[in-house]
Amino acid sequence: MIEVLSDLTTDYSFPLVVWGGGTGGLAAAVQAARLGTKTLLLTPGPWLGGMVSAAGVSAPDGHELSCWQTGLWGAFLRDIAMVEPDGLDHNWVSCFGFHPRRAEQVLQRWVADCPQLDWWPNVSLKSISRDQNRIQSIEIESSKRIKKLCLDLLIDGSDLGDTFPLTQTPHRWGWEPEELWKEPSAPSAQRLLHEPFFSNQPIQSPTWVVMGQLDESRQPPNDSPDLADPFTEATKAFGFERTLTYGRLPGGLVMLNWPIHGNDWHQQLERLRSPQSLLRDQLSESMQSHSLAFLKSLKQVSNGWLRSGNAFPGVNPSLALMPYWREGRRLIGLNTVVENDLLPLSFGPSRGPLPFDEKGSCTSIAVGTYANDHHYPGEDWPLAPKSCRWGGRWTGTPFCIPYGAIISSKIENLLVADKAFSVSHIANGATRLQPLIFNIGQAAGIAAAQALNKHVMPADLEVGEIQQALLNDRFAPAAVLPIWDWPAWHPSWRSAQEMVLKNPDCLNDRSVIESRNINQFVGELPLPNQTPASSQAKEFQGTLRTAYDGQYSLEFSNEKWPLITLEPALNTWLQSCKDGEHVCLLAVKNKWGPWLRVTSLLS
């Protein structure tokens, strides 16, 4: 029986509507509502966390160091750590691993605690009404009824920029030539014109995450058994056990998001922006089938070590509720983040350049850190390096997102809160990750609340007021500048941010940077025995070994474990140590790393 919707349309009115179940959309809606703005959050599915929950990418990359654990990203880490009894150290791709159901519970609690926030799940976006340069209303289908929502401001919080085609918002898709922005890793216009790869692979490959479950009472295969086509090479590079524990989560759940001959999807990606729902559905079905086939192939050769996981609601609890889209439509904003904005300066602590407006004011509203990473079939795409050795491991160098990158160049009451903000195709490889998107969403929520309160458009706001609101937020204060030395928990963290905002040239002054002398304006830096210890940390004593390439290890009881740290004070201490010193420290053991994550120095 075909159900026919009523011809009657119910009208509603909200000052702020946030469309999309992405990580950034959730962050924007929560932040605006916490500031007193009546907000409606619309999600196309039953969950609202996007990458960190509904898409199952529950081992986030980037922003791992304590100096970057700020804003809603830092708040999420603290809250998820409280509900994961075994902590977050469970894999080797990330310093954080959590169950997607627990992530969703944390985020739904955030929403429930906001009296100014309404959330409507399982909504379809039908149309958007625009009058010249302003959006007037959107029309949705919810609970089998058509509803018209009048609004003052719209935030697109989707992964793919869902609202752009309906509003005719100027946006980009696919590759840009090197000649446009002089990006060192972009292909030339001639290559884009003549090489089929670029038209066949217009955007980064997405993944439909599927979850496995390890039976850790059994042993994994001793070698790398042959998987079924097309996955025969998937486990060859790292071995069977390392391939599966790459994304291990608490309780032996494993996130299967494997790029090397695994379940990345590369075919006919143009379909994701087709106006024909049939083509979009076919793409989804193909991606799901591909990931389920990958899981099946792994299970068949695992000797019972792997079975299907249970992580999501629905008929197949091993399959994520939505794809992990790495890239889609990208806004044309007032500013565009390009690769040159990500790459570290040639002197001082590694970081990208600060963005300034024509008045000389710094316009950064979020800090990104991820190392640029692109997913395509075949060979890795060569990218200009933006990583450095820090704390015994590689980490991405920080960079800034200017406020103008989340504002449309044409639609005056539209903000973008997720990975569809204004960024080049090449730079998207470093800006698409969960931690940065949490904090971009937070900035969009603050901007929306301020614009509505002041009765102005977002482009008319003073960026300095947004920055102060981020730094002084009572729930989740967020960094706006890339300062390495002060962790988010330190009492001088905010002072350092505010001092540099008032004197941004000090981050461009060689004498100040090279002497690391910003602390003379702020206060004493934390000592390595002052860092907060994790509840999972245990005492270790042994002989410290240092290597010329910035690696460290601890020898004790006939064992030798690599050492890493996420704390600036401990990184400085490690750099000062001599090979062979006896040390006593607190650390969390991660056998899948494998490493000891040092949290505090005892002697």
Q: Is residue 204 part of a domain?
A: no
CA atoms of 475 and 472, how far apart (whole Å): 9
Strand partners, 333: 408
Which residue's structure tokens are 């009824």?
145
Q: Which of 482, 515, 547 is the last residue of a domain?
A: 482
Kindly state whether residues 331 and 441 are assigned to the same domain: yes
Q: Which amino acid is at 223?
A: D
Alpha helices (runs of H) in 113-174, residue ranges in sequence order: 164-167
- Per the structure, the complete domain to which residue 553 belongs is given by 538-601
Q: Which residues contact residue 239 at a Cβ distance below 8 angstroms, ignoring those fewer than 6 apart?
A: 223, 224
CA atoms of 460 and 454, how far apart (whole Å): 10
Provide the pLDDT for residue 348. Answer: 60
Provide the pLDDT for residue 520. Answer: 59
- Tell how far CA 427 is from the center of its chain: 14
C-alpha separations of 213 from 97, 99, 243, 248 in Å: 14, 12, 13, 9
Low-confidence stretches of the chain (pLDDT < 50) are 1-7, 510-516
Provide the pLDDT for residue 509. Answer: 52
Closest Cα partner for 280 from 290, 267, 292, 271?
271
Kindly state whether residues 25 and 167 are assigned to the same domain: yes
Kindly state whether residues 45 and 92 are assigned to the same domain: yes
Q: Are 56 and 324 in contact (CB under 8 A)?
A: yes
Q: Is residue 532 part of a domain?
A: no
Total domains present in the chain: 3
Kindly state whether residues 411 and 465 are assigned to the same domain: yes
Cβ-in-10-Å burial (0-12, 13-18, 19+) of 539 comes to: exposed
Q: Is residue 222 part of a domain?
A: yes
Kindly state whether residues 286 and 408 are assigned to the same domain: no
Strand partners, 39: 16, 117
Kindly state whether residues 334 and 469 are assigned to the same domain: yes
Here the CATH number for the domain that contains residue 555 is 2.40.50.140
Q: Are 4 and 14 in contact (CB under 8 A)?
A: no
For the record, the structure tokens of 93 come out as: 């791709």
Kindly state whether residues 355 and 295 are assigned to the same domain: no
Q: Are 388 and 411 in contact (CB under 8 A)?
A: no
Per-residue pLDDT tens over the stretch 282-292 = 999 999 999 99
Here the CATH number for the domain that contains residue 129 is 3.50.50.60
Per-residue pLDDT tens over the stretch 36-91 = 999 999 999 999 999 999 999 999 998 999 999 999 999 999 999 999 999 999 99
Q: Which of 246, 273, 308 is the last residue of a domain?
A: 308
Kindly state whether residues 153 and 242 are assigned to the same domain: no
Q: Is residue 203 part of a domain?
A: no
Closest Cα partner for 320 from 263, 398, 367?
263
Q: Is residue 512 part of a domain?
A: no
Q: Are 351 and 397 in contact (CB under 8 A)?
A: yes
Q: Is residue 527 part of a domain?
A: no
Provide the pLDDT for residue 526. Answer: 84
3-state secondary structure 325-379: CCCCCEECECCCECHHHCCCCCCCCCCCCCCECCCCCECEEEEECCCCCCCCCCC
Kindly state whether residues 43 and 167 are assigned to the same domain: yes
41: left (phi over 0), alpha (psi -120 to 50) or beta: beta
Q: Is residue 275 part of a domain?
A: yes
Kindly state whether residues 418 and 367 are assigned to the same domain: yes
Kindly state whether residues 275 and 357 are assigned to the same domain: no
Kindly state whether residues 302 and 391 are assigned to the same domain: no
CA atoms of 58 and 105, how far apart (whole Å): 13
Q: Which residues contact residue 445 at a Cβ distance below 8 angstroms, ignoring those fewer than 6 apart?
A: 27, 28, 29, 30, 31, 32, 33, 34, 35, 155, 417
Q: Is residue 2 part of a domain?
A: no
For the record, the structure tokens of 168 come out as: 């005719």
